[in-house]
A and B are shown apart, each in its own frame.
Chain A
Amino acid sequence: MSLRTRWTRSAGFLPLALLLALALPAARAHAYPWMIQHGYTNCSGCHVDPSGWGLLTEYGRGQDQIVIPTLWGGKKQEDLEPFTGIMYGAVPLPSWLNVGLSLRGAVLSTTNSGTTTWRDILMIADLRAGVTAGPFLASVSFGYVPTGATLAAVTNQPRDNLVSREHWLGLRFDDNRLYFLGGRMNLPFGLRNVEHNAFVRSSTLTDTNSSQQYGGQVVWDAPGIRAALMGIAGNLLLRDPAYREYGYSGYVEGAFSNSFTLGLSSLVTHADLALAQFANPALGPDPFFGASNSWRQAHGLFSRWHVGGPWVVLAEANLLVQTADNVATDWGGVGFLQADWEAIQGLHLIFTGEALRQRYVNSYGAWFSVSWFFFTYCEARIDVTFNDYGMSSGGHLPSLGVLGQLHFSM
């Protein structure tokens, strides 16, 4: 059994899993579905990955300075002259070369059953580089994490691992509408939201923290519609091939205006042996973990809606189905609803509700978050998260988490 999965069977499963579920880093270098507030329904203008997240293009670096941070000293957007290079313009870059850095540190307080624990975390320390030169695309990230993100670890230590969340090559045609990508990539599924430990991401294993897979992907990115279909060839960073998942993941999303989109996602994977899923850590030992002939499915809808002014609503709902030999089929579901209010430029007050049904047990979550991009490339964020985890025994386990983060990303 690999180190990546062994820990889930440890005797201290519940507290450790709870802590990890709350503590795994929100690897949110750049993945802001609320950019629809500025009329952006597609992601490829700003991101090297046409489905969004991660490394920014030259245009994205410009937007990162114009529309993301709070502007001080009475400055307005029209007063700015963004630099095309990095490090506040100190390092010039040619238009075809993209380089990014993401550093995120956090302090987490978790309260379960009247007991509060504190932990400081280096959540992300990634260097990214990529190419957008005519039809050629490439993107690679490389970083260090002391804990977590084991599915993306290129080293095989219990802690202090080097990680590469993505590394892929691509070609694009037809005025950048048609893409062919191959390598380790984020799974195209649902909202590419930054809260990677939200139920919708953790229950579908489609988060941007470490759930990337190897495979080939076709992306269609055109006005009014975008779609992606990825053939999953497994996570080759998992050293035990029996746990690797094979299948597909994809979405199609229509933009009915520049302020409203509706999308459909679908994912089906098969593995010889099932991985554990951490969506509800209070469930106890996962009956699917290690079960043979595992099929995992998720199908659902997602939407982005710029309601008006500073309000954006993001929503996603998925049906979850999991089967394996000698384990009863699990029919479940997961939902996510988030309202983002940008009180002043750069300051976001975020209200999130979520629900999960897995292993025939219901769990609920409510988040209140303040995300402040207080200066170019700099973000401070606080998440207050209350989860009511359903337990197999019939009870519920309430859990309160307070996560404070400082993030430097360019």
Chain B
Amino acid sequence: MPRRASLAALLLVLPLLAPATKLTGEPSAGFHGRGPGGFGVDGKTNQLRIEDDGTTLKFTVPLAGLQTGIGLRDRHMREKYLQVDKYPDAVLEVPWSGVKLPGDGQTGEGTAPGKMTIHGKSKDVQVKYRIVRTGTRYQVTGNVPLNLKDYGIDVPSYMGVTVQPDIDTSVSFTAERS
């Protein structure tokens, strides 16, 4: 019994020992898609959550808040393509083991393996990141190219314009890490 209690206590304490990563300021997440010729479409949201269990960083973007600047396009994106009522979030998980943190006052860039989950489907991805560190403050930008077809998302097409299935996704945020 005492042994069991010790184990429970250890499990409770472990997350507290893990380094905490907390967002400061306004984060952003978005995507850039391309159509025929020079046609482009950008989506953006300031809703981004980060969870850090000490081994994995988990980024969650509620997709209902994604905006492209045109209301009707947003509705089509939410309802017809992303189906946010069924799949409300995009989730990116990145193990800390793949991330190289720069020293104080330095900038680090690299590529880390991760797992992206969108539209109910998960796929291994490569996350290109850039981190600028000032003390315990980290300014982070990350990019993940992905193909909509890999996630079972219909290729958006509207009134003669079809978006290419390859899009770029990005996150940008500042965090404090103790």
Contacts and interface: CB of A to CB of B under 8 A. Distances in A.
Interface string B34-50: 11111111100000000
A50 interface: yes
Contacts of A79: 71
Contacts of B74: 78
Interface stretch (A104-112, A181-189, A219-227): A219-227
B65 to A, nearest CB: 14
Interface in A195-234: 221-226
B83 to A, nearest CB: 16
Interface in B9-59: 34-42
Given A42-B39, A59-B160, A78-B72, 5 more contacts: A39-B41, A59-B161, A78-B71, A224-B38, A255-B38
A175 B71 CA distance: 27
Interface of A: 38-39, 41-42, 44-45, 50, 57-59, 61-63, 66-67, 76-80, 82, 84, 95, 132, 172, 175-177, 221-226, 255, 258
Contact of A61 (B36, B71, B159): B159
Contacts of B37: 42, 44-45, 50, 172, 175-177, 221-222
B40 A57 contact: no
A11 B38 CA distance: 50
Contacts of B159: 58-59, 61-62, 82, 84, 95
A59 to B, nearest CB: 5
Contact of A39 (B40, B71, B75): B40
Contacts of B41: 39
Interface string B134-173: 0000000000000000000000001111000000000000
Interface in B87-142: none
Contacts of B68: 39
Contacts of A63: 70
A226 B38 contact: yes
Contacts of B75: 78
Contacts of B158: 59, 62
Nearest to B38: A42
Given A176-B37, A223-B38, A38 B70 contact: yes
Contacts of A80: 72
B39 A44 contact: yes
Contacts of A82: 72, 159
A91 B76 CA distance: 25
Contacts of A224: 38
Contacts of B72: 66, 77-78, 80, 82
Nearest to A178: B37
Contacts of B34: 223
Nearest to B160: A58
The interface centre, meaning the residue of B34, B36, B39 with most chain A CB atoms within 10 A of its CB, is B39
Contacts of B69: 38-39
Contact of A76 (B36, B40, B42, B71): B71
A175 B70 contact: no
Contacts of A66: 70-72
Contacts of A132: 160
A255 B40 CA distance: 11
A287 B102 CA distance: 69
B70 A67 contact: yes
A77 B71 contact: yes
19 contacts: A38-B69, A39-B40, A39-B41, A39-B69, A41-B40, A42-B38, A44-B38, A45-B161, A59-B160, A66-B70, A66-B71, A66-B72, A78-B72, A78-B74, A78-B75, A132-B160, A175-B37, A222-B38, A258-B40
A322 B146 CA distance: 53
Contacts of A57: 160
